[in-house]
Amino acid sequence: TLLPGRIFDVNAAPLPNGGAVLVLRDVTRAEALERAQREFVANVSHELRTPLTSVRGYSETLLDSGLIAPEAEPWVEIVLKNVDRMSRLTEDLLVLARTEAPDRKPLRRSIAASTLIEDAVRNFTSDSARLTVSGATSTPVLADEIAVQQVLANLLENAAKYGRPSDGSEPRIEVAAEDTGNGMVLFRVRDFGPGIAMEHHSRLFERFYRVDKARSRESGGTGLGLAIARLLIEENGGTITLDSALGRGSEFRFTLPVASSAVGADTADEAF
Ligand code: ADP
């Protein structure tokens, strides 16, 4: 009640004489600016949905109508491809803005790690990659199921997109979940592709960071997938890391907290 309605950053340091120094920094304005920026991005992304749907609809109709010269069809296909790219970008920006909202509360519940893996494998559709489960613990984790599915889908998609072995054979992906015994379950998504050079590791989870821009664009990437993955995993109390080197494939790993058996599924979030 120092100054009602204002937001402070508080730092405290003990003094040798037993007292303490308390430093209060008024961050009301910075918080308000950040919030306005987030809301702006969310609104713009949302508003772009309708016109994009319209452009897609009319482009598809044009292609189906037979009214354009066959030579012009590839141009409309390019329009469609770019509309798809823009839709993915606006959807990803919307997810980022929503995930970052301070009043957001993830809906966490207890769910078996193996169920999360099974659902991700079932939802994964790729006719050009071979996916195997190399072990999945039934230990329950406390997590927002939709968020975890989004992360797993993104990692599997990346492995299929960028994980083609150097001999040109189809990408092979292994997914696993193991109970590490320290209160966390470790999820792993491994591929046997070209791998990622060390110099990129520290920046890979940043927004719009890509190792190979042309390749990412070509495959329809937005450069936001791993940034979203990190936000979602951290929001669920875990961490996400990468183990990879050039020529050795890549393994993305993330952890989620084990759901305590004493806590019921519905009340899990409050208890955490
Ligand atoms: P994008 O939309 O470009 O795929 P991501 O954030 O998902 O964005 O990934 C960022 C970049 O990391 C990609 O552009 C790609 O260069 C690199 N990358 C991600 N996963 C892999 C992988 N399994 N193997 C090699 N490179 C990868």
pLDDT at 8: 85
Question: Structure pTM?
Answer: 0.83
Question: Looking at 187-196, 232-241, 244-253, 260-269, which range is the least confident one?
Answer: 260-269
Give the model confidence (pLDDT) of 74-98 as tens digits: 999 999 999 999 999 999 999 888 8
Give the model confidence (pLDDT) of 12-55 as tens digits: 899 999 899 999 888 888 888 888 988 898 899 999 999 999 99
CA of 68 to the centre of ligand 1 (A): 37
pLDDT at 105: 81
Rg (CA), the chain: 23
CA of 182 to the centre of ligand 1 (A): 30
The dihedral region occupied by 73, where left means phi > 0, alpha psi between -120 and 50, and beta the remainder, is alpha
CA distance 187 to 176: 6
Report which ligand 1 atom has the smallest distance to the Cα of 193. Answer: 24
Report which ligand 1 atom has the smallest distance to the Cα of 189. Answer: 23
pLDDT at 113: 98
| pLDDT cut 90: percent of the chain above it | 71
CA distance 204 to 87: 22
Q: Is the pLDDT of residue 160 over 60?
A: yes
Give the model confidence (pLDDT) of 92-144 as tens digits: 999 888 888 877 888 999 999 999 999 999 999 888 899 999 999 999 999 99
CA of 144 to the centre of ligand 1 (A): 24
